[in-house]
């Protein structure tokens, strides 16, 4: 990971989980239509929210470091 975006791994994990859930939905569509859509949206929101939290903490740390200069 580069110093430009030290926490970008969380964004990659979010994308991988979203892709995996999409594939699972596509494979099991008729039998899992209603409950799986809610489950996938919930998991996606959890990972996306965590990625935003990590991004905000990283940006706050960078602003503190920039203020010291």
Number of domains in the chain: 1
* R_g of the chain computed on alpha carbons: 17
Terminal Cα-to-Cα distance of the chain (whole angstroms): 24
Residue 27 inside a domain? The answer is no
What is each CA distance from 20 to 10, 28, 39, 59, 66, in whole angstroms?
Answer: 15, 12, 13, 29, 38
Residue 3 has pLDDT above 70, yes or no: no
Domain carrying residue 61: 33-69
Residue 45 inside a domain? The answer is yes
Q: What does the pLDDT look like over 9-55, one tens digit per residue?
A: 777 887 888 888 788 878 877 776 777 778 878 888 888 888 888 88
In the chain, at which residue ranges do the beta strands (DSSP E only) sit? Answer: none
Map tokens 């991988």 to a residue: 16
Question: Model confidence at 1, in pLDDT bands (50, 70, 90)?
Answer: very low
């Amino acid at each position: 990971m580069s110093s430009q975006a030290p926490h970008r791994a969380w964004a990659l994990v979010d994308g991988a989980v979203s892709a995996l859930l999409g594939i699972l939905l596509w494979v099991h569509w008729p039998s899992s239509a209603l409950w799986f859509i809610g489950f996938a949206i919930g998991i996606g929101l959890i990972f996306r929210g965590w990625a935003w939290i990590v991004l905000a903490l990283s940006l706050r740390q960078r602003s503190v470091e920039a203020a010291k200069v």
